[in-house]
Amino acid sequence: MPINSAVLRRGISFLEVDFSAYTLEEVVAEIVKRRGMQPFFYVVTPNVHHCVMINGTDDGAALEAFRDAYRAADLRLCDSRILARLARLCGLHLPIAPGSDLTAALFRTAFKQGDRVAIVGGHPDAVTRLNAIFSGLVYVQHIPPFGMLTNPDAMREAAEFVIETKADYTLFAIGAPQGEILAHQCAQTGAAQGVGVSIGASIDFLIGDQVRAPRWMQRAGLEWAHRLAANPKRMWRRYLVEGPRIFLITWRWARKRGGSAKQVT
């Protein structure tokens, strides 16, 4: 069933993020319902990396913009079994809706023939390869330059692309924090339409450039280890240096709040 819009922002506060307490199926139904509509509705998928950033001590403008984007998001879906298990230790239940699963569900069951799908980021041949697997959709793509977060012109051009394409769905495949910040900027203009979803590298899994961990590793919360083994040069710092901070962050959060759930209305 589609989510009741009157309680759309209901959720559970954990590690300074108000997680939306909905299942993957409910979220897909809500996204389809808002296809092509205004105002722009956007979804973020917090994982360990995001929560470490949000709880960081850096007071820079980019981090504050990232926090603002998270606060303004229409849905914040738990993308991490590790986060869900840490929340459980604090007496909270967070439904898990992994971003890769959400992206796959959208392409396989939600997007219909003729739907306009905009992609910000991704490989130059992503549209061609997606069209070979999921045909019948109208794809448009914008590939921003590297370092767009510190490039106001690049951010503006990307926002203009989202507004001008008038897509039913916009997929932000440029990673955090720039994807979430861009989605927030699009929403703030009041001119964008449809649904935006921050999907990270999910398209890479769909077109076969990356292979997801076996199901048993996913269920065990070890997908991070699979990704680290597949790309150690790129991922070692995130998973071995930055990621473990989540345990201290959780301990401090639980100590400060007693680990109790907070309903968000």
pLDDT at 262 over 80: no
What confidence score (pLDDT) does residue 260 get?
A: 47
Q: Quote the DSSP letter at residue 46.
A: -
Alpha helices in 42-97 (DSSP H): 48-54, 61-72, 81-89
Which residue is associated with the tokens 């041949």? 125
The CA-CA-CA angle for residues 71, 75, 78, to 5°, reads 95
What confidence score (pLDDT) does residue 226 get?
A: 67
Name the band, by pLDDT with cuts 50, 70 and 90, for residue 213: low
Instruction: Give dist(CA 170, CA 30) in Å, integer.
Output: 15
% of the chain exceeding 70 in pLDDT? 92
Which residue is associated with the tokens 């219909």? 112
3-state secondary structure of 250: helix
| CA-based end-to-end distance of the chain | 20
What confidence score (pLDDT) does residue 258 get?
A: 67
- Amino acid identity for residue 263 in this structure: Q
Beta strands in the chain (DSSP E): 11-14, 17-20, 41-44, 75-76, 116-121, 138-142, 169-173, 195-198, 263-264
- Spatial strand order in the sheet of 263-264: 17-20, 11-14, 263-264
- Amino acid identity for residue 8 in this structure: L
pLDDT tens digits for range 78-124: 999 999 999 999 999 999 998 899 999 999 999 999 999 999 999 99
Instruction: Give dist(CA 198, CA 169) in Å, integer.
Output: 11
Nearest one of 175, 158, 174, 184 to 65, comparing CA atoms: 184
CA atoms 9, 43, 19, 207: torsion sign = positive
What confidence score (pLDDT) does residue 263 get?
A: 44
Helix then strand then coil, in percent of the chain rounded to 5, is 50, 15, 35
